[in-house]
Amino acid sequence: MNDLTKILEICRKKADIHTENYNGRPFEYAACEHGSYEKESSRLDLYEMTNWMSSFVTGLAPIHFWISKDTKYIKWANQFKTYYHDKVFEHYMNTMHDIGFLYSPYSVAMYNLTGDEDHKRTAIKAADELLKRFDIKGRYIDAWNSMAEDDRTGRAIIDCMMNVSLLLWAWKQTSHTMYKDVAVAHIETTKKYFIRDDYSVAHSYLFDRKTGKVIKEDNDCGYSNGSHWARGTAWAVYGFAIAARYLESEEYYNTAVNIAKKYISELPKDEYIPIWDFRLPEEYPAKYCGKNAVPDWDETDAKNKEFAVDTSAAAIMSCGMYELNGIKENAEFKDFADKTIDVLCDEKYFDYDVNHTGILKRQNGNMTYTTFGDYFFTEAVARKLYNLPVCW
């Protein structure tokens, strides 16, 4: 077993590089190949509608403050307060369904730690903007598109199961049932269409906005329609588990459990890191993966399948299983999450270089680092070691 205290200390040192280099208005780091976001990655401004990852950097500060009690992390994070405020109060048309990924790790976490009412007001306003994306006829939260585009096709995606936690948090803070009602409506639509009979998970569906009826499955992040995208499965498990906690729902708890068991069943025996999509065809065992990182990449070569894994999915799934274990003690899931983290600490997956900001290698099925995978790995280890109170 790895010394997770030392692992988390390495993560803290990497976060400290962010505190030196990541200042001013927040931005989104794209994926990087060699571990240094600040040197390799393109940047997307916080006020851009498609930015959904800024808080996987700024949100590291509340985690490391909880562990270390070093107020430098709170001071560093608070410099971003005005920008997060202005995004939802002045640039609210440039928000999308992933607003929960922006405001839970930052504004909610900062409010939970400091009691600062400014963070609370900002997070509730973000929840209000998420409410506006609710499609009444289809009963789902509209993904991606600008709400100013009245002729858009409706779309819902599995990732949004993590964003409804912002609505459920706002419900608890305000007692206004509208937040809960919209969250439950979206969850029920997700459960109806996205969770298949075998508990595999679809990524995306298109809806007719005039009638609210489903048009078709329309995969975007997995291999294809009908496939089984590993990270989407992790979003589903964690999202349904969070919903089960807020709503004290046995039904949502059981849904999360069954999706998690399906995920485990798809892994080879004694392996814990999933291939990025469980249903890659035999003739394309590594399609879309590794081309930029591996010379002469052959997507038809079965030996390249080992590169087509997604460590971010493994990290998120660990968080989801810890969440389930927190609702009802579940030795199987806790043990699986513990072992997953231990495997992720192998140098094949974990970057031990404290001069790199990147934490997990081989994310997203394409041999890169991403800030969201790094964040959820940090969260998972902090939950295990220090009972971190999560922001979701």
Integer Cα distance of 194 and 203 in angstroms: 7
Tell me the one-letter amino acid at 174: T
Q: Does residue 391 fall inside a structural domain?
A: no
For 27, the token pair is 């931005």
Q: Which pLDDT score, from 0 to 100, does residue 188 have?
A: 98
Q: What percent of the chain has pLDDT over 90?
A: 90
Domain containing 56: what range?
4-386
- Strand locations in the chain, DSSP E? 27-29, 43-45, 134-135, 140-141, 154-157, 204-207, 214-217
Q: Which pLDDT score, from 0 to 100, does residue 229 have?
A: 97
Q: Is the pLDDT of residue 293 over 60?
A: no
Integer Cα distance of 315 and 374 in angstroms: 8
Smallest Cα–Cα separation from 144: which of 221, 86, 213, 223? 221
pLDDT single digits (tens) 177-233: 999 999 999 999 999 999 999 999 999 999 999 999 999 999 999 999 999 999 999
Mean pLDDT of 373-390: 97
Mean pLDDT of 340-366: 96
Integer Cα distance of 294 and 223 in angstroms: 20
- The CA-to-CA distance between both ends of the chain, in Å, stands at 28
Integer Cα distance of 49 and 209 in angstroms: 21
Integer Cα distance of 358 and 353 in angstroms: 9
Q: Is the pLDDT of residue 172 over 70?
A: yes
Q: Which residues contact 88 (CB under 8 A, 6 or more apart)?
A: 95, 99, 103, 122, 125, 126, 128, 129
Q: Does residue 331 fall inside a structural domain?
A: yes
Q: Does residue 392 fall inside a structural domain?
A: no
Q: What CATH number corresponds to the domain at position 83?
A: 1.50.10.10
How many other CB atoms are there within 10 angstroms of residue 245's CB atom?
19
pLDDT single digits (tens) 325-343: 999 999 999 999 999 999 9
| DSSP structure string for 150-214 | TTPPEEEETTHHHHHHHHHHHHHHH--HHHHHHHHHHHHHHHHHTB-TTS-B--EEEE-TTT--E
The whole model's pTM is what?
0.97
Domains of the chain: total: 1
Mean pLDDT of 131-146: 96
Q: Does residue 21 fall inside a structural domain?
A: yes
- Burial class, 197, CB count within 10 angstroms (exposed 0-12 / middle 13-18 / buried 19+): exposed
Q: Is the pLDDT of residue 291 over 70?
A: no
Q: Which pLDDT score, from 0 to 100, does residue 134 have?
A: 98
Q: What percent of the chain has pLDDT over 70?
A: 98
Q: Are 60 and 358 in contact (CB under 8 A)?
A: no
Q: Which pLDDT score, from 0 to 100, does residue 23 have?
A: 95
Q: Which pLDDT score, from 0 to 100, does residue 1 have?
A: 67
